[in-house]
Structure 1
Amino acid sequence: MWLRRSKTRARVHNAPAPKFACSSFKDVHTLLLDDEPAGGGSPGSSLESPTKPSICHRSRSVKTLIRTLSQPAPPEEIRIPGAEQTVVVYFTSLRIVRRTFEDCKAVRSILRDFRVSIDERDLSMDSGFMDELRSILGQSPEKNSKLTLPRVFIGGRYVGGVEEVRRLHESGELKKHVEGLPASEPGTCGACGGYRFILCDECSGSHKYYSEKGGFRSCTLCNENGLVRCPSCSCAPL
């Protein structure tokens, strides 16, 4: 008699799917967990319990930090030693560039309305003022950097050009800057007629003088135009 075999059912065990462990998604998984409420609570409970900052919040914080670090440091204050009691204006009286001439004229007109002591240094009358201004501003003449005019110093401290002076004047701050400075004498200087320069007495304005030993030589007391600063209305050069 044959034994009857019992049919056995093969059991198929579904193995758990392997976890996707790609290293490139590790940070994404962590970031998604940061957005869930702490302690597994409901989304509304995240307002009551402190949680880690969200992705957007951290992104904004990083951008703010980068923006702060990328900002340049404030420039050093530029000053003229010995000019604490006056206003110094570097300008030009030439009309070659109309806009520059008009800017210089406007700044001088604004400053003269305050009736304070002003030392006007005309670069067209003495080229030495150009080298002097470049040295103060820290500009090298070899680089041929563009030097715009006018340039204003109040109480020895650098203020800026025409735009800065106009902005300070419109806001009323310019009056505060010139307060305490000595008042200017009314009227026009009788020695130079307001030009701030007179002819050199040594060479009579020729910028050359004659000596029996060396013949003709350049005068060392005046500039290239045979002029010296008016002793009555101009401050001594730096």
Structure 2
Amino acid sequence: MLLTRTKSKIWIDNNNSPNFSCSSFKDINTLFSEDNSKYNSPSSSSSTNKKPNIFHRVLRVNAVLRAFSTRPEPESSPSRSEPLIQIPRAEKKIVIYFTSLRVIRSTFDSCKAVRSILSSFRVAIDERDVSMDAGFMEELKTILGKREKTKLTLPRVFIGGRYIGGADEVIQLHEAGELKKYVEGLAPAELSTCEVCGGDRFVLCDDCSGSKKYYSEKSGFRTCTACNENGLIRCPSCYHAII
């Protein structure tokens, strides 16, 4: 069954009708009527209690917003520049403090990634493994001005004697193509493997043969002070090659 459309017989008279029939526009209708009547009244200019026209209010608000938007920002106080951290006798090489232990996987991966990046530039690198010699960690804390009980994350990199940072800083510089500018002018690396240590960078102590003890006729057995806690010393061949 089809329904036929019928024309509505309701007519809306909109001839000069200033009022809105919808209740939701009542406030707007009243506001316009009051403001327009006062704005068009000849005595409005002399009235002291008049309310500003709605359009004047909009203009005032816009003027205030423009004033705040163009208001100059206060000058920020100059930041204090951090002191330059340098390492002595390292102007022609890279010095990296790292660990070769896999105790903390994230630290080991960071050290491995940074060493791989630095090795790709074929420049002299002084690798200081804190897991092989605890003295390197104390040395690093002294250079950075840290307390003895402070725990430092690894790796830490110095290029040309200047402190660069850790893994995040080195990787960011490498990805941005800026790291190669830091290594320009450094001494080239030895491409051959060291015949003394086989690339381990450490050898057994000659005085105690790695036992940390040596015998003296005057005082008997004594603790060896020439090697580290592991009875090792830095490979003389590798060490002199990167000085």
Change (3 A) 1:237 1:201: farther
Separation in 2 of the partners of 1:126 and 1:72?
38
- Of 211, 235, 239 in structure 2, the residue corresponding to residue 234 of structure 1 is 239
Q: 1:235 to 1:126 in 2, by over 3 A?
A: farther
Per the alignment, residue 78 of structure 1 pairs with: 85
Following TM superposition, by how much is the alpha carbon of 1:207 offset from its aligned partner in structure 2, in angstroms? 1.2
| 1:114-154 CA distance string (max 9 Å, x none) | 1100000000000000110000000011xx32200000000
Match of 2:206 in 1: 201
- Report the AA paired with residue 172 of structure 1: G
Change (3 A) 1:83 1:99: same
Q: Which residue is 1:98 aligned to?
A: 105
1:1-238 correspondence runs (5 A): 61=73, 64-65=74-75, 68-69=76-77, 72-141=79-148, 144-235=149-240
Offset of residue 187 of structure 1: 2.5
Aligned to 1:31: none
Map of 1:6 onto structure 2? none
Q: Give the SS at the match of 1:88.
A: strand
Is the partner of 1:90 in helix, strand or coil?
strand
Secondary structure of residue in 2 paired with 1:232: helix
TM-score (norm 1): 0.70
Give runs of ≥4 in structure 1 deviating > 4 Å: 54-58, 235-238
- For 2:127 and 2:199, locate their aligned partners in 1 and report how far apart those are by CA, in whole Å: 10
- Alignment partner of 2:200: what SS? coil
Task: Give the SS at the match of 1:166.
Answer: helix
Q: Are the aligned partners of 2:196 and 2:235 in contact in 1 as well (CA < 8 Å)?
A: yes
When residues 195 and 206 of structure 1 are mapped into structure 2, their CA distance, relative to the original with a 3 A threshold, is: same
Residue 124 of structure 1 aligns with an amino acid whose one-letter code is S
CA, structure 1 residues 235+135, in 2 after alignment: closer, same or farther (shift >3 Å)?
farther
Identity of aligned residues (%): 62
Tell me which residue corresponds to 1:5.
Answer: none
Q: Once the two structures are superposed, what CA deviation does each residue of 1:202-224 show, in whole Å capped at 9, x if it has no partner?
A: 11111110112212111121111
TM-score of the superposed pair, with normalisation by structure 2:
0.69
Query: 1: distance between equivalents of 2:227 and 2:122?
Result: 30
Distance 1:224 1:215 in 2: 20
Cα separation, partners in 2 of 1:206 and 1:175, compared to 1, 3 Å: same
Q: Distance in 2 between matches of 1:183 and 1:207?
A: 35
Q: CA RMSD in A?
A: 2.5
Counterpart CA distance in 1 for 2:158 and 2:115 is 12
Q: Which residue of 2 aligns with 1:9?
A: none
| Equivalent position of 1:25 in the other structure | none
